[in-house]
Amino acid sequence: MSLNSLSLEDLALPTIVSHKLLLQANLKLEKDLQAFIDLYKHLPNAHHYWATTYRHLRSDDLEGLALYYYVIGIIKFSLENQPNIKIKLHCNFENYFAKYIRSNFPQVKVSVNSNLKDKINYNFGPFKYILKAYKYALKNVGDKSVLKNKVWLSMPIQPEKHRYKHLLNRIREEKVFYTGRLEDKINENNEAKSIRFEKELGCKNLLNAFKKAFQLKQNLKQIHPNTLLNLEIRQNKIQHFWVMLLKEKAVEKAIKKYKPKSILYTTANTYPFARIISRQAFLNNVPFIVVACRPMFINTRLEERLIEADVKATNDAFVANNFAVWDKFSKNTLVKAGVDKEKIFVVNQNKQLENSIAKVSLKNALLILFSHEEELNQRLVDELLKLDTKTSLIIRQHPLKKLTEKQNKQLTAKFKITQDITSQPYSKYEFTNVLAITINSTAVLEAAQHGCGVIWLPHLNSRSIIFYEIMQKIGKCFESASELDDFLNSSSDVLLNFIESCQIDYKELFESEDETDQLIEALGL
* 204-215 per-position pLDDT tens digit: 999 999 999 999
Would you say residue 517 lies in a domain? no
Give the full edge-to-edge strand order of the sheet including 108-112: 2-4, 87-91, 108-112
The candidate with the shortest Cα–Cα distance to 125, out of 205, 181, 49, 177, is 181
Would you say residue 308 lies in a domain? yes
**Residues 244 and 386 reside in one and the same domain:** no
**Residues 373 and 339 reside in one and the same domain:** no
Domain boundary pick from 351, 368, 389:
351
pLDDT score at 115: 78
Would you say residue 445 lies in a domain? yes
Backbone phi and psi for residue 193, each to the nearest 5 degrees, phi listed first:
-85, 155
Q: Residue 105: helix, strand or coil by DSSP?
A: coil
* 329-370 per-position pLDDT tens digit: 999 999 998 999 999 999 875 555 555 556 889 999 999 999
Distances (CA, A) of 491 to 185, 394, 494, 495: 53, 21, 5, 6
Query: Which stretches does DSSP call E strand in 250-386?
Result: 262-267, 288-292, 322-325, 344-346, 360-369
**Residues 430 and 484 reside in one and the same domain:** yes
What is residue 93's DSSP assignment? -
Would you say residue 155 lies in a domain? yes
Domain boundary pick from 103, 121, 139:
121
Question: What is d(CA 14, CA 19) in angstroms, rounded to the nearest whole number?
Answer: 9
**Residues 115 and 139 reside in one and the same domain:** no
**Residues 176 and 309 reside in one and the same domain:** yes
**Residues 112 and 254 reside in one and the same domain:** no
- Bridge-based pairing of strands 453-456 and 476-477 is parallel
Q: Residue 353: helix, strand or coil by DSSP?
A: helix
Output the domain CATH number for residue 463: 3.40.50.2000
What is residue 253's DSSP assignment? H
Output the domain CATH number for residue 135: 3.40.50
Would you say residue 403 lies in a domain? yes
List the Cα angle 428/433/436 in 5-degree steps.
Answer: 70
pLDDT score at 8: 42
Question: Which residue intervals of 41-63 are DSSP H helices?
Answer: 47-50
Number of domains in the chain: 3
Domain that holds residue 254: 128-351
Q: Residue 204: helix, strand or coil by DSSP?
A: helix
Along the 525 residues of the chain, how does pLDDT read in single tens digits?
334 333 344 456 778 888 999 999 999 999 999 999 999 999 999 999 999 999 999 998 888 999 999 999 999 998 998 888 888 887 788 999 999 999 999 988 888 877 788 889 999 999 999 999 999 988 876 656 667 889 999 988 777 777 777 788 888 888 999 999 999 877 765 556 888 899 999 999 999 999 999 999 999 999 998 899 999 999 999 999 999 999 999 999 999 999 999 999 999 899 999 999 999 999 999 999 999 988 778 889 999 999 999 999 999 999 999 999 989 999 999 999 899 999 999 987 555 555 555 688 999 999 999 998 999 999 999 999 999 988 999 999 998 889 999 999 999 999 999 999 998 888 889 999 999 999 998 889 989 989 999 999 998 988 888 999 899 999 999 989 999 999 999 999 999 999 999 999 999 999 888 899 999 999 888
**Residues 175 and 219 reside in one and the same domain:** yes
Would you say residue 523 lies in a domain? no
Cα 476 to its chain centre, rounded Å, is: 24
**Residues 163 and 137 reside in one and the same domain:** yes
Backbone phi and psi for residue 152, each to the nearest 5 degrees, phi listed first:
-95, 140
pLDDT score at 225: 87
Would you say residue 425 lies in a domain? yes
Query: Which stretches does DSSP call E strand in 145-249?
Result: 151-155, 175-179, 193-194
Which residues contact residue 487 at a Cβ distance below 8 angstroms, ignoring those fewer than 6 apart?
Answer: 455, 476, 478
Which residues contact residue 179 at a Cβ distance below 8 angstroms, ignoring those fewer than 6 apart?
Answer: 154, 155, 156, 157, 185, 186
Would you say residue 520 lies in a domain? no
Q: Is 337 exposed, middle or buried (0-12, 13-18, 19+ CB in 10 A)?
A: middle
**Residues 267 and 390 reside in one and the same domain:** no
pLDDT score at 228: 96
**Residues 341 and 362 reside in one and the same domain:** no
Contact 203, 190 (CB under 8 A): no
pLDDT score at 189: 59
**Residues 164 and 295 reside in one and the same domain:** yes
**Residues 452 and 340 reside in one and the same domain:** no
Backbone phi and psi for residue 322, each to the nearest 5 degrees, phi listed first:
-140, 160
